[in-house]
Structure 1
Amino acid sequence: MFEPENEIERMLMRAAQEPSERPAFARALLDADIVVVLVPEGGNIVPGPDGNAIIPEGTKLTLPSATRGEEKLLPFFTAPSRARAWFSGDHIAAPERTRDLFGRYPEASFVLNPGSDYGKEFTPAEVKRLLAGHFEEGAETIRIPAGEQLLLGHPSDVPIELIGALSRELSAVKSIRGAWLMLAARAGHPEQSWMLGVDHAGSWSNVQAAINRAVAGDVLKGRPLDAVPLEGSSLASTLRTGIPIFPAKRGFLQRLFR
């Protein structure tokens, strides 16, 4: 039975039950005070007279790994009790901040509360996405400010699963006339994102809903996706050279090339 001990655990439980709560949890977790397990190498931890741990000189403290199959993940915890429940050996439950932990190991995979009823795994791509300030699991609609540097390119590895999911959902929306996908590198954003340009006639909320349905699973693999309405966008001509999500509708092609 998981009884929440603090606010971040209450947010974790809500996020597990309500997908709409997940962006708020991710944002709060990034700057939350969490706990890591430190294990001694070359010595033993002994309790001092005041109850605090005494670490013998020369003892090295390391982070243990959790495993899933052959993959190693760095564990962290929402409370000292979650750490003690997972690691029963000699250790220190040390305070840490999630942002600092992620920043020190940006290429690592992490797991929150291994062995607990409530936890979450974080891939390296997801860690980078969170550090870049992307907290939404679905697509974000953006407008590119005038003068902002943006590089668009074609991916070396075509995201077949993502394209299939987007094609399935977007082709069912009658107001969408065409959609194209490229990789984008934006100034001030350390990680590349997907850039989806959409030609549509109608409510953008219908487009957004279709995109969010498409990426509801793990098709993004932790990489952010930004969606751009192409009507009046300076990116329109470039994005239309990207990967077509589905064949543009005939009426649109007639207007474009006549």
Structure 2
Amino acid sequence: MSKPSNDLERKLMLAADNPANRPEFYKALMASDVYVIGFTDSEGEEIRTIPTGDKLSIVSWEKNDGTPIIPFFTSLEALQRALKEESKYVALPAKSFFEMTLGSFLMLNPASSYGKEFFPDEIHALLETGVNHAPQTRVVQKETKVLLGQPANYPSEMVSALTSLLAKHSAVKAAYLCLMQDPSSSEKPSLVVGFDGDKDLAEAMKEAGSVAADTAPKGDAVDFVVLKKGESGVSNYMLKSVKPFYERTWGAKLRSLFSPGKV
């Protein structure tokens, strides 16, 4: 790709090169207009507000295996790179586009150096959470004995990406990693990331879930827990026996204290 045409393309390039930047890209995408090949009942191109009652016809393509896929683009320049002949196009909010194509396979910026295929479950997650992965909450119904230890095959890519991401979240004081196995279950052991913080960790954990989904070793489940001092089990093991893979620096804490809105 040549020089990015807008901020969304810049963030797409950063996200492709570093998984830690992907939540920021998804946030920008959901707040942006995108371009699609198609037309409405109204005259003209570059329609940003589709009149009520107008029908939008969107062009779909086929992948090599015959699967239909709908292309969309971050800019008019990206759209023009993908066309071999003159075509009509429409610009509309990404959120509206995702809602009207829900259930379809989508491809961002085909024919460009940087692009991404979106699967239907990712679009559901984007509309629901703002990132491409919707976490599942599990509640332990009864006291369960588990085995805790360190993974033999350390998930270096995931840990590196999470470290870069968490540096952007001042709420996170430290993050820890372990492997958990329930002897009574036939399921594989899961990786567990523990978050220690002094503020609301919901946003940081949501974005971390998206990053972990993209970078965890294939086939490995990843669980997140909020660590609480004085609790037994995972919290006690991590806080007392495991060295954190991420720790907030004093510089980051000071930047948080003196950021706009702080008193």
- Structure 1 residues without counterparts, runs of 5 or longer: 41-47, 54-58, 145-149, 154-165, 181-195, 237-258
Question: What is residue 228 of structure 1 aligned with on the other side?
Answer: 225
Question: What is residue 108 of structure 2 aligned with on the other side?
Answer: 112
Question: What is residue 126 of structure 1 aligned with on the other side?
Answer: 122
**Residue type at the aligned position of 2:26:** A
* Higher Rg of the two aligned structures: 1
How many angstroms does 1:17 deviate by? 1.8
Question: What is residue 180 of structure 2 aligned with on the other side?
Answer: 178
Structure 1 pair 39–175 and aligned structure 2 pair: CA distance change class (3 A): closer
Mapped to 1, the partners of 2:224 and 2:153 lie a distance apart of 16
How many angstroms does 1:9 deviate by? 1.0
CA contact (8 A) 2:196 2:227 kept: no
The superposition leaves residues 207-255 of structure 1 with CA deviations (integer Å, 9 ceiling, x where unpaired) of x99x97685158489xx966235879xxx9xxxxxxxxxxxxxxxxxxx
Question: What is residue 71 of structure 1 aligned with on the other side?
Answer: 67
How many angstroms does 1:89 deviate by? 3.1
Structure 1 pair 167–133 and aligned structure 2 pair: CA distance change class (3 A): farther
Provide the secondary structure at the position in 1 that maps to 2:225.
Answer: strand
**Residue type at the aligned position of 2:93:** R
How many angstroms does 1:197 deviate by? 9.4
Question: What is residue 2 of structure 1 aligned with on the other side?
Answer: 2
| Aligned 1:149-168 pairs, distance under 5 A | 168=153
| Cα RMSD (Å) | 4.9
Provide the secondary structure at the position in 1 that maps to 2:129.
Answer: coil
**Residue type at the aligned position of 2:76:** P
CA contact (8 A) 2:123 2:132 kept: no
- Structure 2 residues without counterparts, runs of 5 or longer: 46-54, 142-150, 156-175, 183-189, 198-204, 234-263
| Aligned 1:185-200 pairs, distance under 5 A | none
Provide the secondary structure at the position in 1 that maps to 2:37.
Answer: strand
Question: What is residue 96 of structure 1 aligned with on the other side?
Answer: 92
Mapped to 1, the partners of 2:39 and 2:7 lie a distance apart of 27
How many angstroms does 1:83 deviate by? 1.4
Question: What is residue 216 of structure 1 aligned with on the other side?
Answer: 215
Provide the secondary structure at the position in 1 that maps to 2:102.
Answer: coil
Question: What is residue 12 of structure 1 aligned with on the other side?
Answer: 12
How many angstroms does 1:73 deviate by? 1.4
Structure 1 pair 128–199 and aligned structure 2 pair: CA distance change class (3 A): closer
Structure 1 pair 122–218 and aligned structure 2 pair: CA distance change class (3 A): farther
Question: What is residue 84 of structure 1 aligned with on the other side?
Answer: 80
Question: More strand by proportion, 1 or 2?
Answer: 1
Provide the secondary structure at the position in 2 that maps to 1:114.
Answer: coil
